[in-house]
Amino acid sequence: MTTLYRTITEDDTSQFCHRVTEALSRGWSLYGQPVMAFDAARGVMRMGQAVTKEIHGEYHPEMKLGAQ
């Protein structure tokens, strides 16, 4: 088994929630707490959430983690 790790980032909109929900529906699990930070250059709040997923097989750097 191999553990995959990725971080989902997005402006603080419903799109962020949809992206995290989609990852959860594909078997990813939340890893830690979500984070929020103000992007002063753009004047918006940004969100981030780390997720992990166990897969059979080996990790390869060319894997498209969002497609897993």
- pLDDT tens column, 18-40: 999 999 999 999 999 999 999 99
Q: What are the distances in angstroms from CA 16 to CA 6, 39, 54?
A: 14, 15, 22
What's the whole-model pTM score? 0.88
Looking at the structure of the chain, the number of domains it has is 1
> What mean pLDDT comes out for the span 44-48?
98
Higher-pLDDT residue of 68 and 6 is: 6
Mean pLDDT value of segment 42-68: 92
Instruction: Quote the domain boundaries for residue 33.
Output: 2-67
CA dihedral 50, 12, 66, 4 (to 10 degrees): 0
CATH number, domain with residue 38:
3.30.1660
49 vs 68, residue with greater confidence: 49
